[in-house]
A and B are shown apart, each in its own frame.
With several copies, the nearest count.
Chain A
């Protein structure tokens, strides 16, 4: 394992210290609880949007803290969900009196830890009551959906949701409306990913999974969870066709509809290749009569240094586009300010 770090056990703490040093104007880092917070403290009267999860997916979530997006991110160990104490601390540190929305990706660990945190806050032992709501993102169509299982993983839609709901919170939407909007964004979006290589968790020291020199993993998860199938490497146009058709059909996209499209790198794929993929994705959507209202190309939800990409499509409408276009000022996403 070759990585730019010191002791693998310290990687998250040191990266957070680096974020604090690099963005002192915008971010405040609580190293004890491993939280990234807005520099300004809680915003009175605004719903606070709090997310978190395992580290290693940067810029998700810590890089999305700031005006127009998150109020705090709880950073777990690499690929390990944060613990309830972190979520409780984030919730208390960001509440501006209008309640807190937890954005949780659908992994058992994240669900249970956020749930315990919510119980602790609700119990009110450590502070005044806080109005809470939570949304669970589960947009990964690589996983079969079923009421018998935990269901689908939360991936790329999480970024778009944090952006859009963050904007609504900035407009002082009340908690129930923010919550309903978040549920709607999650319902309207789907994703699928593929990997050319594995990644290596620093503490583990070796690759999470094995792939042959001519193989790729279709439907991979952002922690290196195996996907739908290991298949031979294919040209970008075929890879794009697999991803787009899986997402499009699951979403039931029809001719004449339009989407926000996210062509996302998993960390180790050059931007040059992501734009080749973007070209194919746009071509395929045009061919299907689906318009692309907004487009993001780059590393937004990563899996350490994994090579590969994901495609997220979010059915667009006027409200979502307006909120998406609203100002945002975070290290990972910025416009309008």
Chain B
């Protein structure tokens, strides 16, 4: 079961990881975008990690909404609204819960990923963060149906996200800034798929 502390640990871990990987993400974005993805994500998650724990959000859902709003207002670019929406939507299925288990996290993840699609209209294979998030959700659900615990489900999700991220390499982008490159976008891993994988990996380390 994951409680508010777990979710706060997730965000803290994500912030540390993204700061650590900022240069790598920016390099990926320099190749097929505009070279700011690492800076954007590190700035946004640092702001989330700095949210005052006493600042009156009672419960997981309020906290996740706060994280979502913070991302929306600090990340900018394409990823700000997308990850912002992801966290805002995560909150829905977790309303009023103090502790959540596999089932609820699965529902939250689905809501979050659907939010990304609703906002960004990406389809599988468009070479976006969705190409990491979609397989992660699927793997989580499958592990959950197999009766595995939250940690195992998230580990399965993280592995699937990483595979999805790697599979973006040969793709020709159809969404986001990389799509301007046409054929020349092939041969590079998508920065958003990479940051999405880092986020799920952080969840697997913390939401337990």
Contacts and interface: CB of A to CB of B under 8 A. Distances in A.
Complex A–B touching at CB under 8 A: yes
Interface of A: 54, 76-85, 107-109, 112-113, 115-116, 142-144, 146, 148-150, 153, 201, 203-204, 208-209, 221, 223-226
Given A109-B81, A112-B81, A226-B184, 17 more contacts: A77-B36, A77-B76, A78-B36, A79-B35, A81-B77, A81-B78, A109-B77, A113-B80, A113-B81, A115-B81, A146-B174, A149-B179, A203-B36, A223-B177, A225-B33, A225-B177, A226-B181
Contacts of B77: 76, 80-81, 109
Contacts of A149: 173-175, 179
15 contacts: A54-B76, A76-B77, A78-B36, A79-B34, A81-B80, A82-B76, A83-B72, A84-B72, A108-B177, A109-B177, A116-B81, A153-B180, A204-B26, A221-B180, A225-B180
Interface in B64-95: 72-82, 84-85
A226 B151 CA distance: 42
Nearest to A148: B174
Given A201-B36, A208-B34, A84 B73 contact: yes
Contacts of B175: 108, 149-150
Interface in B148-188: 173-177, 179-182, 184
Identify the interface centre among A81, A84, A149: most chain B CB within 10 Å of its CB.
Answer: A149
A218 to B, nearest CB: 12
User: For chain B, which range describes its interface: under 10, 10 to 19, 20 to 34, or 35 or more residues?
Assistant: 20 to 34
Contacts of B80: 81, 83, 109, 112-113
Contacts of A223: 34, 177
A47 to B, nearest CB: 25
Contacts of B180: 142-143, 153, 221, 225-226
A204 B73 contact: no
Contacts of B36: 77-80, 201, 203-204
B179 A150 contact: yes
B200 to A, nearest CB: 21
B61 to A, nearest CB: 18
Contacts of B26: 204
Identify the interface centre among B76, B119, B176, B182: most chain A CB within 10 Å of its CB.
Answer: B76
Given A112-B81, A112-B119, A201-B35, A150 B30 contact: no
Interface string B180-203: 111010000000000000000000
Closest 9 CB pairs of A and B: A112-B81, A108-B78, A109-B77, A223-B34, A109-B78, A80-B76, A149-B179, A149-B174, A85-B73
A60 B55 CA distance: 38
Contacts of A209: 30
B81 A204 contact: no
Contacts of A76: 76-77
Given A112-B81, A221-B180, A204 B72 contact: no
Contacts of A143: 179-180, 182
Given A108-B176, A226-B184, A208 B35 contact: yes
B174 A108 contact: no
